[in-house]
Amino acid sequence: MSSITAALYGLLVVYLGGWFFNYWSGNFSLLLFVLTVVTLVYWIAERLRFKPAREAAAVALVAGDAKRRAELASRGIDKVDGDVEQARHKLLMQPWWLDWTAGLFPVILIVFLLRSFLFEPFKIPSGSMVPTLQVGDLILVNKYHYGIRLPVINTKIIDNQPVARGDVVVFRYPVDPRQDYIKRVVGLPGDEVSYLNQKLSINGQPVAETPRGEQYDEDSMSYAPVFVEKLGQVEHLIRVDPRRTNFYGADPKTFPFAQNCRYVTEGVTCKVPAGHYFMMGDNRDNSLDSRFWGFVPDENLVGKAFFVWMNFGNLRRIGPFQ
């Protein structure tokens, strides 16, 4: 078993190494599920076979030592060399290959359950959600807010809260589901979303926004206007820079339901299909979102982002956000 365990750890190192050096894309949910199953098998084998076998060997050792001492005592020999307790302790110890498998099962199981059904950490990799979220923010995602989904296959089994306009959502990128994206929900199923001349409208009604001065934009190394936008019941900051208008490209779009979108010089208007959502970044002129790659299906939702739990460059970032 030690050689089998060493081979399994070797495969794990190869997988993680290839993932780290970008030879392939990893799937942490699948990896965690596999680790949980493998360590569970070892844990069951330890409880049903390996531990009872070690305990039986220890009992036999103690019984044999007692018998030997009794025989020697009958011959008048009272002093006998050997520490049976030390030998018994060594017999009862888990070998390394069980310590690093069955011994880790409770910890891996707790992490798997927490990450799959309660909360998942996520790191903000880009500035698409500035000013709400900054690059380097470490956030928590509520996995059960929109319902309980089975891990790995992402099938919803229990409904919870409906998706609302203004929610900040982590989802699997429709173009490459192996990647996680984070954006704000702008359009719900059936909505008509327009973003024309850097102004957002939903179902023909302009979305209210109030100027809030300017903030420094690290990407352009200049100051950019900031507004308070109200989507549904959520008020949040957005950045709209009139000097950086988006260009959506001249080629026809090929994403699913692309026929629901009309692209003109001033911007884009899309009708959100059933079971899908229209996502946009709060940094409106520096966000690759539904305007470019289309709608997010409900089955791609991971959860609702709600809390910055750490930013090593700015501890004042810690706290809830809208």
Set out the domains of the chain in order of their start, with CATH numbers: 2-112 (no CATH), 124-320 (2.10.109.10)
Please, what is the Cα angle at 135 between 214 and 153, to 5 degrees?
A: 130
Helix axis angle, 105-113 relative to 28-45, nearest 10°? 140
DSSP-based three-state secondary structure for 102 = helix
pLDDT score at 154: 84
Q: Which of 13-27, 70-84, 198-212 has the lowest mean pLDDT?
A: 70-84
pLDDT score at 62: 80
Confidence category of residue 82, pLDDT binned at 50, 70, 90:
low
Catalytic (active site) residue 128:
yes
Catalytic residue among 183, 194, 253, 287: 183
Could you tell me which of 207, 272, 202 has the C-alpha nearest to residue 234?
207
Is residue 178's pLDDT more than 90?
no
Q: What is the largest CA-CA distance in the chain?
A: 107
Pairing assessment for the beta strands 296-297 and 276-280 based on DSSP bridges: antiparallel
Residues 112-126 pLDDT 10s: 999 999 999 999 988
pLDDT score at 23: 85
Residues 125-166 pLDDT 10s: 888 999 999 988 999 999 999 999 988 888 899 999 999 999
The stretch 30-36 carries a mean pLDDT of 92
The stretch 4-30 carries a mean pLDDT of 87
pLDDT score at 220: 63
Question: Do 304 and 141 meet the contact criterion of CB atoms below 8 Å apart?
Answer: yes
* Residue 116: HSE in the Cβ half-sphere, 13 Å Cα cutoff: 21
pLDDT score at 64: 80
Catalytic (active site) residue 290:
no
Is residue 80's pLDDT more than 70?
no
Confidence category of residue 91, pLDDT binned at 50, 70, 90:
confident
Please, what is the Cα angle at 93 between 91 and 94, to 5 degrees?
A: 120
* Mean of per-residue pLDDT scores for the chain: 90
Is residue 74's pLDDT more than 80?
no
Alpha-carbon span 136 to 152, nearest angstrom: 26
Confidence category of residue 21, pLDDT binned at 50, 70, 90:
confident
Residues 264-280 pLDDT 10s: 989 999 999 999 999 99
* Neighbour count for residue 71 (Cβ, 10 Å): 10
Residues 226-267 pLDDT 10s: 999 999 889 999 999 887 777 777 788 899 999 999 999 899
Catalytic residue among 128, 194, 287, 290: 128
Alpha-carbon span 305 to 169, nearest angstrom: 6
Question: Do 106 and 127 meet the contact criterion of CB atoms below 8 Å apart?
Answer: no
Alpha helices by DSSP H, listed for the chain, are 2-20, 28-45, 51-74, 84-92, 96-99, 105-113, 290-293
Residues 284-309 pLDDT 10s: 988 999 999 999 999 999 999 999 99
Residues 197-226 pLDDT 10s: 999 999 999 999 999 988 877 666 778 889
